[in-house]
Amino acid sequence: MNEIKRGITRVCAAPRHSFVIKDGRLFAWGSNKESELGLGEGQADYVLNPTCIGEHADWEFVESYGNKTAAIRRGELWMWGPGRKSPPGITNPPPIKHPVRVGDDSDWKRVSIEGNQILALAEDGLFSLPYVLLTSWGGRGGELEREPYKIGEGNLWSEVSAGREHAIAIQDGKLFAWGVNKRGGLGTGDKRHRKEPTQIHKESGWTHVAAGWGCSFAVKDGMLYAWGDNALRRLTNSDQPVITTPTRISSRVDFTAIAVKGGHHLAISNGAAIYWGRRLSRNFGGGKARSPENAVCIDESFDWEQISAPFEHMLAVKGGQLYSWGINAEGQLGLGDLTNRTEPTLVPLP
């Protein structure tokens, strides 16, 4: 088992709720109407402040999107939330309201979720997991609809990011993509779909990836590259509607993080948090759609460490403290109210 790191080690903003791991403890807040927070019985539909899930202090990773959540503790995979959707006319079984362990393996490292895709990295490879977590009327959980399916070859995968219809990953510093390619999101130079991971941009040295809606982002040598759908010039300032191969899109250097979901984008470059995209007016009180080259700094500081931006609200860590901003209709900012914020606001953690 890896030694648990101190401080905030993981932030995860889902569209209607949020998670953070601090000192090995897992906290959740926001919408809980489908038991997506994993807090157990007797919880309100909206949890407005960070609330600890259980008593464990050895959580290592958490990922959530929609009502699907997966977390890792001691290398074990845990999941919770709604179970199988029954056919019309048949009542759905009850949801799993608290984390339950899935399977017997204890070598899981990372998980990425988007739409109906759940991709996970383990010591022995990259796997696709079924998005349905089975439940029974007796409340028993921990069973998947099918066994995890191994993707590609080898076991030196370090990063993976699931998009709505495609995915990208890094293996031994090399960049791979697969899935639907109708908008060039695979970066293969064409629009042909791929069922298995296909290497793109033959050079190695890639360190970060983020799959969006029909587009992809990756970092190499601290420089930001992108490809795919260039609607509203969200990738470059050119009028080219589709970019089919990885292309450097910003003159900024030292990119250390990139978060891409929905219509906006957030990144960290040289310690500064920058943003661009079509949803600026709702999240930041104004602004027009901007490409990465014209991205706007969130503030004047250069000590941002982590970011997560799913759709209409953001989480980020600066100076070891958690901040949130954006839409707060379901308490997903963790600030004890339902008021939107247009600038980073400190989130009190227990």
Tens-digit pLDDT profile for residues 255-265: 999 998 766 78
Predicted local confidence at residue 268, as pLDDT: 97
For the record, the structure tokens of 304 come out as 């941002």
Residue 244 CA: distances (Å) to CA of 148, 167, 190, 200, 222: 31, 15, 6, 11, 21
Predicted local confidence at residue 310, as pLDDT: 79
Q: What is the pLDDT of residues 275-291, one digit of tens each?
A: 887 655 455 544 555 67
The rounded distance, in Å, linking the Cα atoms of 309 and 262 is: 9
One-letter amino acid for residue 86 of the chain: S
Distance in angstroms between the alpha carbons of the first and the last residue of the chain: 25
Which domains are assigned to the chain? 8-346 (2.130.10.30)
Bigger pLDDT: 14 vs 131: 14
Percent of the chain with pLDDT over 90: 65
- 68-73 sheet: strands from edge to edge: 59-65, 68-73, 76-81, 96-101
Bigger pLDDT: 25 vs 299: 25
pLDDT greater than 50 at residue 134: yes
Q: Residue 321: which pLDDT band, with cuts at 50, 70 and 90?
A: very high
| pTM (two decimals) | 0.91
Number of residues written out for the chain: 350
CB atoms within 10 A of CB 233: 18
Q: CB burial class (10 A; 0-12, 13-18, 19+) of residue 253?
A: exposed
SS3 for 156-218, per residue? CEEEEEECCCEEEEEECCEEEEEECCCCCCCCCCCCCCEEEEEEECCCCCEEEEEECCCEEEE
Residue partners of 42: CB distance under 8 A and separation at least 6: none
The stretch 218-243 carries a mean pLDDT of 90
The rounded distance, in Å, linking the Cα atoms of 175 and 131 is: 25
| C-beta of residue 165 within 8 angstroms of C-beta of residue 214 | yes
Residue reference for tokens 């019985």: 41
| C-beta of residue 244 within 8 angstroms of C-beta of residue 189 | yes
Q: What is the pLDDT of residues 73-90, one digit of tens each?
A: 999 999 998 765 656 766
Predicted local confidence at residue 291, as pLDDT: 77
Strand partners, 162: 167
- Of 86, 99, 28, nearest to 330 by C-alpha is 28
